Amino acid sequence: MKKISPQKKLYVTFLISFLLTFPFYTKAQENDKELLKTLIEQLCNDKGFAQQLEITEPEQLQKFYSQIDYQMAWSKQNTRFAEEFMAILTNANDYGMLKEDFHYNYLKSNHKNPIEKEVVCTHAMLSFLSEITSGKGKIDLDYNGLNYNNKCLNLEQLLASTYQKGYFSDILKYVQPQSMAYDANIRLLRKINVFLRDSSFNELPIEILPTLKENKNLIQKLYYLGFIANPTDTESLHENNLIYALKGFQSLFNLTQDGKLGLQTLKKLNTSLKEIQSILIKNLHRWRNLNCLDNQRYILINIPSAELSFYNKDSLVTAMKVIVGKASTATPLISSKIDQIIFFPYWYVPNSIATKEILPIQQKEATFLENNGFQVLDELGNTIDPTTLPWATYTATNFPYRFRQVAGCDNSLGIVKFNFESPFAIYLHDTNHKELFSKSNRQISHGCVRLEKPYDLAAILLGSRSQVEDALKHRFDTDLKPKYIRLDNPIQVFITYMTTSVDEFGNLVIFEDVYRKMGKK
């Protein structure tokens, strides 16, 4: 009789044992499935019960579990995915998020009810993914003409299709904004979090001293922010190296990069790491708010950096400086579509500018309107001879006319204007004051957005450089009339507000909060 090997005996024993217990195992699975389904239904139907477990949007749970037939996703047979999630959640502040917002304390404690823990773990994952994908809070828009919605990803389906064979980090990479500015925010946040996690960490105020080398508090700050690799390294502390490091800091805060410890630089140096952390976190959420723009064709105008970027499916087509509204005449945040280009536009002067600025000048200088190409219009749009009007009798409250500036090179809107729908009298346009683009802080307009390279933008939108050049040939003609061109393919435009961005080298820049919006939650 042939002997059975010990290995084969072991296999047979295991097989018999499995076959004997399989019915009970299957029954246990079915029991768990019913309990899980019942619990989720109760959460969906009983808001009070859901609040007890701190479960928001229980419908997300229903969507997820319906796709996996209400199987236990994080049971003993599949703990790898949940363990990786917990490791990421432990360091949630590296993403500008709070682990306590995602059931962290509950999940770290021991619980006797595996069904409840299963549901809470899934809710934590979906909530974490929702915040890191779409941001925290409402989208900051004064006018949402596109009905833009930042909930564009099916997170339940993503999780259901990944949890068995993939990794939580795979989903994390996929759902976050694909932006250099976003990545730069994350990198600096992680760097300063290393120090802020230390309960004994303490920053000392920085003062102006004769040399940078003797300024120990300055050297520490440059080290915290990554501009010096080692604060005790002799080579790093050479005066020329410190000047270079200080220029890097000045670049971070959009200051003149002269390597000198002046008053403006000193003020920014005394911005605490905690304050910088708060700035980065608020901007991360604002970048996440725009996450659903990925892989689309759109123009993004950012007010604090006063820059325009044109994207086509995540590729940067063109970028340029812009001039936006000052704080007192702020440019509104909007989403809309540019659907028309006007060459040689008239400028219909807003009433506030007409009565507060132009009227007082005309009352002092009788030829001001004529010298600057302004016409006076009545309520029907008829032109009125300004020499026939009793200017001295008019005030801001009783002035019955409108001003219109004629088309041409001297027009305040320049040669070309880009129209989009909004309840505000704003648009994108050329300007006859190109010298203003050399300013580093370009929040100086009455609210409209002036473009550094309007002809380039027009050529891209029209798909024809020659069409733009043909129009420009007539810019010195007399008695110019506006030329209206309707776009066959309107372009989405978003005017947004992020106080962090990147320069042409991909380095993070923190801009002034000119409209004081970042103090808001």
SS (H, E, C) 464-484: CHHHHHHHHCCCCCCCCCCEE
What is the rounded distance in angstroms from the CA atom of residue 33 to the CA atom of residue 53?
Answer: 20
pLDDT at residue 511, rounded to an integer? 97
Distances in Å between the alpha carbon of 249 and those of 191, 238, 271, 283, 353?
Answer: 15, 17, 12, 19, 39
327 contacts 407 by C-beta, under 8 angstroms: no
Residues belonging to the chain: 521
User: Is there a contact between 84 and 168 (Cβ–Cβ < 8 Å)?
Assistant: yes
Give the model's pLDDT for residue 235. Answer: 77
Q: What is the 3-state secondary structure (H, E, C) of 62-84?
A: HHHHHHCCCCCCCCCCCCHHHHH
What tokens appear for 491 in the block? 């372009």
For residues 166-201, b (16+ Cβ closer than 10 Å) or e, as one string? eebeebbeebbbebebbebbbebbeebbebbeeeee
pLDDT number for residue 314: 79
Please say if 285 is a catalytic residue. Answer: no
356 Cβ contact list (under 8 Å, min separation 6): 396
CATH superfamily of 295-372+405-510: L,D-transpeptidase catalytic domain-like (2.40.440.10)
Specify the CATH number for 204-271; select among 1.10.260, 1.20.58, 3.40.390, 1.10.101. Answer: 1.10.101
CA nearest neighbour of 283 among 513, 24, 10 = 513
Q: At what angle do helices 216-224 and 239-252 cross, to 10 degrees?
A: 50
Letter for the amino acid at 512? Answer: E
Strand 443-445, strand 315-325: pairing: parallel
Whether 255 contacts 261, CB under 8 Å: no
For the entire predicted model, the pTM comes to: 0.87
Residue span(s) of the chain under CATH 1.10.101 come to 204-271
Say how many CA atoms lie within 13 Å of 6 toward its Cβ: 0
CA distance 392 to 359: 10
- Choosing from 121, 123, 446, 448, the catalytic residue is 448
- Let me know: does 479 contact 491? Beta carbons within 8 Å: no
DSSP 505: T
**Identity (one letter) of the amino acid at 236?**
S
Question: 475 — phi, psi (to 5°)?
Answer: -65, -20
Q: Give me 520's structure tokens.
A: 């808001």
Is the Cβ–Cβ distance between 419 and 342 less than 8 Å?
A: yes
Q: Which of 103, 123, 285, 429 is catalytic?
A: 429
Report the distance separating Cα 519 and Cα 521, nearest Å.
7
Taken in order 315, 320, 326, 331, the sign of the CA dihedral is: negative
Contact at 8 Å (CB) between 281 and 128? no
For 225, phi then psi, to 5°, come to -90, 0
Burial class of residue 94 in the structure, from the number of CB atoms within 10 Å of its CB (0-12 exposed, 13-18 middle, 19+ buried): middle
Active site residue 44: no
Do residues 416 and 341 lie in contact, with contact meaning Cβ atoms separated by under 8 Å? yes
- Rg, the chain, Cα only: 31
Residue 338 backbone dihedrals phi, psi, to 5 degrees: -75, 120
Query: Tokens 């080398």 map to which residue?
Result: 213
The answer to whether the beta carbons of residues 283 and 493 sit under 8 Å apart is no
Contacts 24+ apart (CB under 8 A), 54-59: 54/103, 55/119, 55/120, 55/123, 56/123, 56/127, 57/126, 57/127, 58/123
Q: What is the pLDDT along the chain (521 residues), one digit of tens a residue?
A: 444 444 444 333 433 343 344 444 456 567 888 999 999 999 999 999 999 989 999 999 999 999 999 999 997 767 899 999 999 999 999 999 999 999 999 999 887 788 999 999 999 999 999 999 999 888 999 999 999 999 889 999 999 999 988 899 999 999 999 899 999 999 999 999 999 999 999 999 999 999 999 999 999 999 999 999 988 887 778 999 999 999 999 999 999 999 999 999 999 999 999 999 999 999 999 999 999 987 789 999 999 999 999 999 878 999 999 999 999 999 999 999 999 999 999 989 989 899 999 999 999 999 999 999 999 999 999 999 999 999 999 999 999 999 998 888 788 888 999 999 999 989 999 998 999 999 989 999 999 999 999 999 999 999 999 999 988 888 888 888 999 999 999 999 999 999 999 998 999 999 999 999 987 54
CATH 2.40.440.10 region(s) of the chain?
295-372+405-510
Q: What is the pLDDT of residue 27?
A: 60
Rounded to whole angstroms, the Cα distance separating 221 from 227 reads: 9
How many alpha carbons lie under 13 Å from residue 430 in its C-beta half-sphere? Answer: 25
Beta-strand runs (E) in 125-210:
143-144
